[in-house]
Structure 1
Amino acid sequence: MDLLSLRYFQAVARHEHISRAADELRVAQPSVSRTIARLETELGVPLFDRQGRRIRLNRYGTAFLRRVDRALAELDDARRELADAAGPELGSVAVGAETMLTLAGLLAAFRERHPGVTVRLFQSHAQEMERRLRDREVDFCVASQPLAGPSLTSLELLREEVLLAVPPGHRLAGRERVGIAELADETFVSTRPGHWQRALLDRLFAEAGLVPAITCEGIEPGATQELVSAGLGIGLIPAMSCRAAGVAPVAWVRLDAPGCHRTLTLVHRQDAYVSAAARHFRELAVEHFGGMPSCS
């Protein structure tokens, strides 16, 4: 039993699919199949139930996966700890986020202060961020909605108002505030379910006994302002965006609705080793978002 076999098993267990695991591992499918078969032979029990071309982790595989996850996590933590000892200003940090635009300023400041640290970014919705944290693929996730999972803890970075963006010349442009009921006949640009903007929009309308009419939904929250400016609809955008320079012009209106805000948090595993690079990133994230001005 070697480390490569355990990592192959971990990938197959996560996907419960040989081909998808092989794609993730960037190896040929037969190699993965042979490795799993050898591992089962060595252990003396099947780790998966086979139903035609489909496989499902069985009770032996589930028990083994718990141990494998723990063992590989310890080895990964040991590697990071040794890297810190060899060079505390080197190393790497992996971060997941709903949109890269939120992190642009933070990353620029981090690279300036710690040029020797490698940063890897993963754009993910909430469910995918939970999985990346669970599988220790990332050190942190910057999230705008709660992430659930054992051993996860969060640190609040920013709490900001969410505004309504409307195209220039729209009937609501020039208004200071507007209620949800006044938006019943409007069409919205939003994100797909699973993203915080969509969750907030659905909640605000549900509380008013309404359902929003969505004309455009996507996976990139940062594109909302461009689409609103182009006249495709109106949309909910965090106040952070109204401070950004060089973006598409829109008119900003405040919403008369309780809880119309975004809470940005830095989420990580409590039981994982925090490298020097990750500690530097966490400290700078608190400093960066804590110093942001309000949007007037």
Structure 2
Amino acid sequence: MDLLQLRYFQAVARYEHISRAAQELRVAQPSLSRTIARLESELGSPLFDRQGRRIRLNPYGAMFLRHVERALSELDDGRRAVREARDTGLGRVSVASETLLTVTHLMGSFRADHPRADVRLFQSTVQEMDRRLRTREVDFCVASQPLTGTNLDSVELAREEVLLAVPPGHWLDGRESVTIPEIADEPFVTTRPGHWQRALLDRLFAAEGLTPLLSCEGDEPGASQDMISAGLGIGLIPAMSREVGTETRVPVAWVEVEAPDCERVLTLVWSRDSYLSEAALKFREFITGTPFMAHRLGLPDARREAGEAGEAVAT
């Protein structure tokens, strides 16, 4: 049994699909199949149930995978620790966020304070965040939805109300609040499944036994307000977009939603078992030590109140 066999097995177990795993590993499919067969022969037990071209991890494979992932993670952490100890910098910190605009000013402030840190940023859905943390591709996730992985620690960064944005002149323009049943037939501008706006929209409608009508689905929440202003629909937008920089943003009207927990909760999430470089430790201290909203707004002094901001950012 060698390291290559274990990494091949990990990829096949993740996809439960030989050709997809081979594509990720950049190896020929027959070669990958032979490697898995040799591993099963050495262990004396099949690790997958096979039905034609379909494979499924069986109980023996699931048991073995837990040990393989721990072993490979330890090896990856050891290699990373040696590399960073050898370097003159602080090492690398990798962060995943559902939308890059949420953390743009934050990451810029951190790099300005720690120029020797190697900072990497990834845009990810909540499903990708779980995978990236599990495979240790990232150190932290800035998440707007709960992550379901095991051995995760988190700290709440911010909590903000989510409002309904409507085009100027819309029949809701001027209303203070609205219920979900009142807007059941309105077309919504939202994100694809996996993003927090879509999850919140689906949850609010499901609580009323309804399904939202969608006029536009996208991958970048920051574009929603522009599309709403253009009359393509209505949508859920964090209240911070209303509170700052109205002169530099496209015009929309804001309405409160009469529904429980119509809010966005941002959390910093990390795996408690993962190795954290000096840069990662400093990043965690940095992001949790000052008001997140101030960072998010790009204030010159991040410790000032968020309401003093003069520049808007799309959320």
TM score, norm. by length of structure 2 = 0.83
Q: What code does the residue aligned with 1:253 have?
A: V
In 2: Cα distance, 1:198 partner to 1:76 partner: 35
- Partner in structure 1 of residue 61 of structure 2: 61
- Partner in structure 2 of residue 194 of structure 1: 194
- Partner in structure 2 of residue 75 of structure 1: 75
1:276 equivalent in alignment to 2:278: yes
Q: Secondary structure at the match of 1:291?
A: helix
In 2: Cα distance, 1:28 partner to 1:282 partner: 41
In 2: Cα distance, 1:11 partner to 1:221 partner: 31
- Partners of 2:174 and 2:253 within 8 A in 1: yes
Question: By how many angstroms is 1:294 displaced?
Answer: 4.3
In 1: Cα distance, 2:277 partner to 2:181 partner: 49
Any unmatched runs of 5+ in structure 2? 296-305, 310-315
- Partner in structure 2 of residue 150 of structure 1: 150
Question: By how many angstroms is 1:14 displaced?
Answer: 0.6
1:260 equivalent in alignment to 2:246: no
Cα 1:58–1:177 change in 2 (3 A) is closer
In 1: Cα distance, 2:89 partner to 2:241 partner: 32
In 2: Cα distance, 1:240 partner to 1:276 partner: 32
Q: Secondary structure at the match of 1:169?
A: coil
1:291 equivalent in alignment to 2:308: no
- Partners of 1:106 and 1:288 within 8 A in 2: no
- 1:99-110 alignment runs, 5 A limit: 99-110=99-110
Q: What code does the residue aligned with 1:192 have?
A: R
In 2: Cα distance, 1:257 partner to 1:66 partner: 41
Q: Secondary structure at the match of 2:103?
A: helix
- Partners of 2:162 and 2:263 within 8 A in 1: yes
Question: By how many angstroms is 1:264 displaced?
Answer: 0.2
Correspondent of 2:250 among 237, 248, 251: 248
- 1:104-253 alignment runs, 5 A limit: 104-208=104-208, 210-242=210-242, 243=244, 246-253=248-255
Question: By how many angstroms is 1:185 displaced?
Answer: 3.4
Deviates more, 1:4-13 or 1:113-122: 113-122
Any unmatched runs of 5+ in structure 1? none
- 1:27-106 alignment runs, 5 A limit: 27-87=27-87, 89-106=89-106
Cα 1:261–1:294 change in 2 (3 A) is farther
In 2: Cα distance, 1:195 partner to 1:290 partner: 20
In 2: Cα distance, 1:181 partner to 1:114 partner: 50
- Partners of 1:192 and 1:198 within 8 A in 2: yes
In 2: Cα distance, 1:218 partner to 1:150 partner: 30
Q: CA RMSD in A?
A: 2.6
Question: By how many angstroms is 1:88 displaced?
Answer: 6.8
TM score, norm. by length of structure 1 = 0.88
Cα 1:119–1:288 change in 2 (3 A) is farther
Cα 1:54–1:77 change in 2 (3 A) is same
Deviations 1:78-114 (A, max 9, x none): 2233344334733222222211221211122222233
Cα 1:41–1:181 change in 2 (3 A) is closer
Deviations 1:246-283 (A, max 9, x none): 54332223333332211000111112222212112222
In 2: Cα distance, 1:52 partner to 1:288 partner: 55
Cα 1:88–1:238 change in 2 (3 A) is farther
In 2: Cα distance, 1:173 partner to 1:4 partner: 61
Cα 1:255–1:88 change in 2 (3 A) is farther
In 1: Cα distance, 2:8 partner to 2:153 partner: 29
Q: What code does the residue aligned with 1:225 have?
A: Q
